[in-house]
Amino acid sequence: MELLSICRQFQFGATPTEVKPLGEGFINDTFIVHTDGTDSYLLQRKNRKIFTDVPAMMNNIALVCDHIKAKVVAKGGDPMREALTVTPTVDGKLYYQDEEGEYWAACLFIKDSITYQAARTPELAFQGGKGIGLFQSMVADLKAPLADILPGFHNIRYRFKQWDEVLAKDPVGRKAAVATEIGWIESRREEMLKFWELVENGTIPTRVTHNDTKINNILFDQKGDVLCVIDLDTVLNSTCLNDFGDAIRSYTNTGLEDDPNLENVSMNMEIFEAYAKGYLSQTISFLTPTEIEYLAFSAKYITYEQVLRFLMDYIDGDNYYKVKDANHNLQRTLAQYQLLSSIEAQYAQMCEVVKKAAAAYR
Ligand code: GN1
Ligand code: MG
């Protein structure tokens, strides 16, 4: 369907004049919509293979946005810049479903905002940590339960179930060639399950969390302060450790997520420390001692899960992530494993850094 006619389904304050692809998401297709008015909008075709209940997902997003807006207003901030604004359709819905069954959603584009693909300075990492910490603190009292639109998303027990099924099938015959990589996953299975048991038995609490805290999911202003967190498709009830771990996976990587040159990839301790400080500056008042104790571990956990997910998708024949070529998911696997190894090598020091940072804010 023609993009401009999709745009006409939404309550944009002015007439759409141009629609262009935007960003590097692996899951949805994102476009920027310019209008003849002063505002621009983001339009997304949601991946309905992955998000099987888009109406429930959009409902989660609206709940979280409204909650954050109220908080921003209460502290005298600008709710149009410090929170996402979902744009409803002409018939008042949070999404539009076209004749082919595709789901579309839109939100206001926040002007003069900046996104980064990497955290090159500790200052930026500190602000990023502050941003996610603030997000978590603002949604901490959101009582309405969010719909579980991605069951088992960061649940390693669920991921192992998928993993075992894909390996048993080996649908495209790639398994034999990646025996070493499979060994990386298997040798850490028990360690990861042991951590997840703490979430399952309630030792680590469940909160409203973002679940995709890569640096490019945060909007910064021109001064380098965080405006707001974007890409709310994955807001769910889970452990907030996932948000910390996923941010560390992205912020501290000295290389690219899929770096073809593994020598570029390592965990940068200075960036880790800055992010941890920024994050704890906002969350120290509500995190439990056990959550703080496992912050450094969460970086291992989420990076491991990402190695598993990329490798599983490779073995499965590239069904989940968008890929550049047939080798892309394997390249991602190797780069993320390099990062995991670097995290493991520096793990004791990471625990010390967290301990010190937490003590400083208490
Ligand atoms: C996906 O859509 P995007 O690029 O923000 C994925 C994350 C992964 C990430 C890897 C719904 O996020 O979980 O960590 O790619 N999102 C979903 O970069 O699976
Ligand atoms: Mg994203």
Ligand sitting nearest the alpha carbon of 218: 2
Residues near 92 by Cβ (< 8 Å), separated by ≥ 6?
Answer: none
Ligand sitting nearest the alpha carbon of 27: 1
Give the span between the Cα atoms of 323 and 37, in whole angstroms: 36
267-289 pLDDT per residue, tens: 999 999 999 999 999 999 999 99
Mutate to test the pocket of ligand 1, among 61, 162, 212 (most ligand atoms within 8 A of CB): 212
By the 8 A CB rule, do 33 and 16 touch?
A: yes
The residues with which 228 forms a beta bridge, in sequence order, are: 219
Q: Look at residues 245, 297, 292, 285 and name the one whose alpha carbon lies nearest to residue 140.
A: 285
Mutate to test the pocket of ligand 1, among 24, 26, 316, 324 (most ligand atoms within 8 A of CB): 26
Atom number in ligand 1 closest to CA 211: 13
Give the span between the Cα atoms of 116 and 268, in whole angstroms: 17
What pLDDT sits at residue 1? 60
Ligand 1 contacts (CB < 6 A) are: 25-27, 50, 212, 214, 217, 231, 234, 257, 306
The residues with which 87 forms a beta bridge, in sequence order, are: 106
**CATH code linked to domain 122-361:** 3.90.1200.10
- Alpha-helical (H) ranges within the chain are 3-7, 54-74, 122-139, 156-169, 179-186, 189-200, 241-251, 269-283, 289-293, 295-315, 328-345, 347-361
Q: Is 329 exposed, middle or buried (0-12, 13-18, 19+ CB in 10 A)?
A: buried
Q: How far is the CA of 26 from the centre of ligand 1 (A)?
A: 6
Q: Look at residues 42, 2, 8 and name the one whose alpha carbon lies nearest to residue 25.
A: 42
Atom number in ligand 1 closest to CA 51: 11
The fold adopted by the segment(s) 3-108 is: Phosphorylase Kinase; domain 1 (3.30.200)
Structure tokens at 60: 């989660």
How is the chain split into domains, by residue range? 3-108, 122-361
Query: What one-letter code names the amino acid at 224?
Result: G
Please identify every stretch of the chain with a pLDDT value under 70, giving residue numbers as ranges. 1
pTM value? 0.95
